[in-house]
Structure 1
């Protein structure tokens, strides 16, 4: 972690500095690690309402008369079924069914907004652009938008103060915060409600100030990552990549099996109707004093069965908590896997659990 640089490169950097932010590099992406003690911020997310700038997600728009029909041919969710203001999680897949990115696609007034992991928007614009022939479609990165995330048991109450109608799952609602227009969108719950407020870059700091006035407290990426891992939600680039199929990620609501054809659909459908996958997302728990490193190979009966993805420590028990996509021969709950290179009898194995077991055990 590092201190904020003297010259602010982003509209909210000054706001973060005033709140005492420390920074980290996450694969080339500059993020706020936290504002003090990550454990305290994680505890805050369990009892009230945390506020963060969501830089790890970026967006692009798909506009034009053919936007719905066009995009529906490249994602696993049913874009054609989206009513105005509705959204859906999905995956972009390649011709072999491998995951190019996970996404949330929302039907906005001007077109379709596609939210994807940071660093993927331009690659996906280029990917989709290769298929634009006679389609009346335009693709454009939304670098003018900033995202403020509110999460925790108090997030719903805060949003109720701002929006005349609370957003349903993945849906978008227009609102005004401190006189500035925003769009509020419900996200995937992490043991408690999570919302994102989309605002212009020029308005983001004013909106953030108003949210803190209304009781939200700044939290960093580290605390939110711990919450995500405890909740058992996989992350692109850490827990899965283009070598994985959608059904292996645990994000079951991101695939429609009734929508019809899209790039990679034949492979994804074949896996589904076969009735099982060869690999599945699992939680892991370990009693070791040292957290095993993300990316470490995992072994069962002397064979590699997967790699450790996200990893954190449970604030309730002190145990290591991780996520991994494991081969089915090691995916049964209660199975014990070893970190490759560990010493049997000296380093505790990792026990396979359901994703989200740690949050469920803590009453989240």
Structure 2
């Protein structure tokens, strides 16, 4: 396809209130509300580690209104979308989705999304913080194509449930459960909903897309079943524990797809798409100069918070070039079976290959091959 120049996608600085926030805050005015990934949502209902323990050992429920949906319609929707993202759309079955990057002509990552295939449309799910820029980028490439992009309004929202007991809870409520990366249209009482089994790198995750008017009652049904309410602070800690990068924090438009260590975002047999030439060139060379990793730290590096404007530099003893990388997401953990500090960031591959000692702000840094086991 034509690789016309596109406007670089940056994380938008706007925030929309969650449909659940007003309801939950009205019952508990002291609940802290804060911006998270483009939306205003509850930061915490209780201690963060208590909520995180529920998400990793039992089941937790959380507001997903920071996720936004763009409906893609038109007779050319599958062919056109397949040419705009790094994963296959043509290869999706109805009721299935997958995770993709959106790239520019230079192969840099402009954003990320999960795209689901319905009978008469595609549904692109991304963070609200990315919506405005992604629509501008995508719209730039609709020329003679029968394609329409329609952002869904606040009348629809989503609620998440995650944890080892999530399947049991949803089954007890009468829901059929799809396999991972699939969805099933369903009903709860008289409400039309969609049950999605989201990608689950550490614990089972489900998303319930539901009318905003029905969301408070559904939330109440889950908590009445013993599911623990969880805020954005616990979700952020779970993300870092899983080793999942966040666009706009860990991944930016400076990065190439293979540097991100997210192979599930790429399909090398799908055919032409924007940025493919660079992706294929990197694959043929079979090397990148830096890569995304999860790290263990010997101690917390001061008062750093994930999302700070200035990531922390990594220094490697004996490296050809320093800084040798950077940390962009950091969290401390005090969980049953695991206590420590974890971080996400990028490191030069030379440092990993030579197994050089790494440090950050006085802390010894160890690259991890997999997330730590809990319990």
Report the TM-score, using the length of structure 1 for normalisation.
0.89
- Offset of residue 246 of structure 1: 1.5
Preserved CA contact (<8 Å) 2:36 2:232:
no
Cα distance change of structure 1 residues 185 and 333 upon mapping to structure 2, 3 Å threshold: farther
Asked if residue 131 in structure 1 is aligned to residue 141 in structure 2, the reply is yes
CA–CA distance in structure 1, aligned partners of residues 126 and 342 of structure 2: 25
Number of residue pairs the alignment of both structures matches: 347
Cα distance change of structure 1 residues 271 and 292 upon mapping to structure 2, 3 Å threshold: farther
CA–CA distance in structure 2, aligned partners of residues 71 and 231 of structure 1: 29
Look up the SS of the partner of 2:294 in the other structure.
Answer: strand
Look up the SS of the partner of 1:68 in the other structure.
Answer: helix
- Offset of residue 289 of structure 1: 4.7
Asked if residue 45 in structure 1 is aligned to residue 55 in structure 2, the reply is yes
CA–CA distance in structure 2, aligned partners of residues 227 and 334 of structure 1: 28
Look up the SS of the partner of 1:124 in the other structure.
Answer: helix
Preserved CA contact (<8 Å) 1:233 1:250:
no
Deviation per CA, 1:40-97, whole angstroms, max 9, x where unpaired? 1111112211000113321111101110011111101110111211111111111111
RMSD: 2.1
Cα distance change of structure 1 residues 59 and 137 upon mapping to structure 2, 3 Å threshold: same
Residue 150 of structure 1 corresponds to 161
Cα distance change of structure 1 residues 336 and 222 upon mapping to structure 2, 3 Å threshold: farther
Residue 69 of structure 1 corresponds to 79
Look up the SS of the partner of 1:315 in the other structure.
Answer: strand
Preserved CA contact (<8 Å) 2:18 2:39:
no
Preserved CA contact (<8 Å) 1:51 1:217:
yes
Cα distance change of structure 1 residues 334 and 196 upon mapping to structure 2, 3 Å threshold: farther
CA–CA distance in structure 2, aligned partners of residues 21 and 177 of structure 1: 28
Preserved CA contact (<8 Å) 1:94 1:263:
yes
Residue 4 of structure 2 corresponds to none
- Offset of residue 328 of structure 1: 0.5
Equivalent of 2:358 in 312, 337, 343: 337
Residue 369 of structure 2 corresponds to 354
Look up the SS of the partner of 1:330 in the other structure.
Answer: helix
Preserved CA contact (<8 Å) 2:104 2:110:
yes
CA–CA distance in structure 1, aligned partners of residues 37 and 230 of structure 2: 20
Asked if residue 207 in structure 1 is aligned to residue 218 in structure 2, the reply is yes
Residue ranges of structure 1 left out of the alignment (5+ in a row) = 1-7
Preserved CA contact (<8 Å) 1:177 1:210:
no
Report the TM-score, using the length of structure 2 for normalisation.
0.86
Look up the SS of the partner of 2:254 in the other structure.
Answer: coil
Equivalent of 1:101 in 96, 103, 111: 111
Preserved CA contact (<8 Å) 1:76 1:93:
yes
- Offset of residue 172 of structure 1: 0.9
Look up the SS of the partner of 1:304 in the other structure.
Answer: coil
- Offset of residue 182 of structure 1: 0.7
